[in-house]
Amino acid sequence: MTVDFDAVIDTPEYAVDMKSGLTTLAGTSDAIRCIGETVLTGEVPKRQTYKGSVRTLLRNTFSGSYGQVFSLELHDDELRSKLQDIGHLAFSEVLAYYFSQAIYQDYPHELSPNALNVIADLEDVSEDLLEQLRKSAIRNAHEASRKLHKNLKIRYRHNRDDQTILATYTAETAKILEAKISKKILNLTVVITRLNIHTGNGRLQIQGHDETVAFGFGIEYKAVKLQAKKIFSKNLDDNNGVEKEHWKYVELTATPVTLHNGKVVKYIVRGYRDE
């Protein structure tokens, strides 16, 4: 059983610097294998070899921007059966979800029930998976973006004429991978604007600010106290459809994850207090 993808490096010539191109394709392959194996086995792989049950296979190239078709292949009957139960479309949604989360961005579309169920099942390993992706695979997938300023599109191929973009990586998203966890602990007054009840990741808006920022707890969500989960979900519910001047707030202590220029891409919640 296979699932087909392609990686497209946005260059007007049917060519790309070989070293950067190969590193980009290798990173793309490793990211899909890493997520795929985690989804199908429930464990984050620390090493990937050509002997594994989940592998990627290069196929053909195509003209236009530099593109490479490849497939994810399963060499285990149990894994094939699990993928069949999930469905190729839901599987591709889960890939796209983790591609977005790896660069501290929200998945921009509504997930199907099947995809939500898969993500819920991965609650205990989601943070480990994201850490593993950021360590090398997603960084390598950004090689052409970082060094050549060429965008990369990773697509799921329904068929030869129909593809769905799972991720678009650019020079700007490459910078996000350089984010570092600060040693500072900040006091924040926030509203919760989005919350994934399966992973604990979401977005918040600081009082007096217009932009939202990603947040998480930095630990497995099952280890977060039920009281905290209820405070965050209740704040989201309390402010749903309410005018800004009537918002209710939550007091947090949090550690920022920042870029070199000081921009915060995520807050890791350390403590909380209802207003």
What is d(CA 249, CA 247) in angstroms, rounded to the nearest whole number?
A: 6
**pLDDT tens profile 74-96:** 999 999 999 999 999 999 999 99
Query: Can you tell me which residue has the tokens 């593109």?
Result: 67
Residue 248: domain span: 180-274
Q: Are residues 106 and 150 in the same domain?
A: yes
What is d(CA 45, CA 243) in angstroms, rounded to the nearest whole number?
A: 46
- Which pLDDT score is estimated for 274? 62
Which of 149, 176, 203 corresponds to the end of one domain? 176
Q: Are residues 49 and 85 in the same domain?
A: yes
Q: Are residues 190 and 240 in the same domain?
A: yes
**Residue 92 vs residues 35, 113, 156, 163, 237: alpha-carbon distances, Å:** 10, 13, 7, 11, 30
pLDDT category at 177 given cuts 50, 70, 90 is very high
pLDDT category at 1 given cuts 50, 70, 90 is confident
**pLDDT tens profile 198-213:** 888 899 999 999 999 9
Which of 176, 198, 221 corresponds to the end of one domain? 176
Q: Are residues 49 and 153 in the same domain?
A: yes
Q: What is the CATH number of the domain that holds 207?
A: 2.40.50
Total domains in the fold of the chain: 2
**pLDDT tens profile 223-248:** 888 988 999 999 999 999 999 999 99
pTM for the model = 0.89
DSSP 138-197: HHHHTHHHHHH---EEEEEEEETTEEEEEEEE-HHHHHHTT-EE-S--EEEEEEEEEE-T
